[in-house]
Amino acid sequence: MIELDSLTRNKTRTFLTGFGVFWGVFMLVALLGGGQGMKDLLNGNFAGFATNSAMLFSSNTSKPFKGFRKGRRWSLELTDINRIKSGVNELDVVTPMLFASGGNALYNDRKSEVGITGNSPDYRFINEPKMRFGRYINEVDIIQKRKVCVIGKRTYQDLFPDGNDPCGKRIEVNGIHYQIVGVDWNVSGGISFGSSPGTNMIVPITVMQQITHRGNRIDMIAVTCKKGIVMSDIIPKMRETLARAHAFDPTDNQALEVMNTEVLFQMIESMFKGVSVLIIMVGIGTLLAGAIGVSNIMMVTVKERTTEIGIRRAIGATPRVILMQIIGESIVLTLIAGMSGIIFAVLILQGMESMPMDDPAHFQVGFWTAVAVAFGVCVVGVLAGLAPSLRAMAIKPVDAMREE
């Protein structure tokens, strides 16, 4: 009965110790895979958006300048496009945008709420569309002021649930009829202007000028810089160019507000680097906690097997043999628990990856990452078995007999 209780205690201790290693490895692999999946989802939100771009908005001045009081309101104009192009050679794409209050897009007896944005064809170089049907706005649409539109994914699903090609069909928005020339399947929500992703309706900017009676005024200018140029370095030059034309202080950052997406993407990248470091630290900490548990259980095992080890030493077992036996047992324990943790984490991550998403994300760890984790588990097993094996090597046959 006493031997059975001792065996039961050993099994319980071994199970709890192995579970500690299992949980540590599971947490590490799951966090690594989950972090990669979250990064893919976030990158999906910004997919196709130029990382070297900036958006320029006019606002009230915050400084007096040449007789004008602060708080003066001014507006961007279409002529500013040429001013910026000629004054800032470092820029690649310069394109205007106009926004209008939305309404309901009507087709037969169906309707869908939309927001309207007036764009030029160059905007596709700022935010690349994912055309499911048809085409994007082109130069002929701009010149001839065609009442055509590109609708978003959600608008298409509301108006055309049968899934057919809607190009050539006409929809009505606020009493004006537009012919659909394309469907943009891009529903990224990271950066959106004018309306929520998937509900934005793109029309030629010349048509938007007519229906909003805005004349030469525009709401926003989107720009990208040439390869090798840092956007932050040329923002003062753009501000100075527009300040000269609209009579505001070139040092007045509030008068011309600039959303620098280059800085935004750098912040996101730095955030994920920090998250990756945190995940690794948490995983390593959990593994070390499991290693301490393995070391403790091996210590208890060595103490309970003092007589056995002493007899083996008496019949000729060398310290090296004893050392390899204890370390080998420690490695086997940690490796079995660790591999179980890896397999379980991979199965959980596979289930997450199978979930339906607009933008697919890769919730998995790479093969070599799994190999590195398995190797790390082996190292943990060696370290955990080192102290117990040294204790076992120090056992003398005479002491073992006396213990008995």
For 55, 253, 263, 272, 362, the CA distances from 266, given in Å and listed in that order, are 16, 21, 5, 10, 22
Q: What is the mean pLDDT of residues 29-53?
A: 76
Question: In which residue are the tokens 């200018």 written?
Answer: 221
Tokens of 370: 């799994």
Is 109 a residue whose pLDDT tops 70? Answer: yes
Least confident of 1-15, 96-110, 230-244, 333-347: 1-15
Interval 44-69: pLDDT, tens: 666 667 788 899 999 999 999 888 88
Is 195 a residue whose pLDDT tops 70? Answer: no
Angle at 196 between CA 195 and CA 200, to 5 degrees: 55
Give the Cα separation of 302 and 314 in Å (integer).
16
Residue 340 CB burial class (10 angstroms; 0-12, 13-18, ≥19): middle
**Chain centre to alpha carbon of residue 270:** 11
Residue type, 140: V
* pLDDT: which is higher, 301 or 211: 211
Is 279 a residue whose pLDDT tops 90? Answer: no
User: Are 192 and 200 in contact, with CB atoms under 8 Å apart?
Assistant: yes
For 105, 184, 199, 327, 328, the CA distances from 111, given in Å and listed in that order, are 5, 18, 12, 71, 70
Question: In which residue are the tokens 């007036």 written?
Answer: 118
Angle between helix 2-45 and 261-304 (nearest 10): 170
67: left (phi over 0), alpha (psi -120 to 50) or beta: left
Task: Rank 121-130, 279-288, 392-401 by mean pLDDT and report only the highest.
Answer: 121-130
Please list the residues that pair with 91 across neighbouring strands.
225
Cut 0.75: pTM above it: no
User: Are 231 and 262 in contact, with CB atoms under 8 Å apart?
Assistant: yes
Task: Rank 125-134, 136-145, 280-289 by mean pLDDT and report only the highest.
Answer: 136-145
Phi, psi of 47 (to 5 degrees): -60, 135
